Amino acid sequence: MKEKILVIVGPTAVGKTALGIKLAQRFDGEIISGDSQQVYKHLDIGTAKATADEQAQAAHHLIDVREVDETYSAFDFVTEAKAAIADISARGKLPILVGGTGLYLQSLLEGYHLGGDLDQEELLNYRKELEDLDDETLFGKIAELSIEISQLNRRRAIRALELARFGQNMENSQAPYEAMIIGLNDDRQLIYDRINQRVDVMMVEGLLDEARWLYDNYPQAQASRGIGYKELFPYFEGQQSLEEATEKLKQNTRRFAKRQLTWFRNRMTVDFYQISDPEMLSQITEKVTTFLS
Binding region for substrate: 12-17
Strands 3-9 and 177-185: parallel
Residue ranges for the known binding site for ATP are 10-17
Helices (H), 120-279: 120-131, 135-144, 154-166, 188-205, 207-217, 233-236, 242-267
Q: Count CB neighbours of 253 within 10 A.
A: 23
Strand order in the sheet with 271-274: 60-61, 29-33, 94-98, 3-9, 177-185, 271-274
Gyration radius (Cα) of the chain, Å: 20
The residue among 63, 244, 81, 74 whose CA lies nearest residue 170 is 74
- Looking at the DSSP assignment, which residues form a beta bridge with residue 193? none
Residues annotated within the binding site are 10-17
**Sign of the CA dihedral with 179 first, then 264, 145, and 162 last:** negative
| CA-wise closest residue to 99 among 169, 175, 40, 16 | 16
Closest CA to 75 of 49, 54, 104, 34: 104
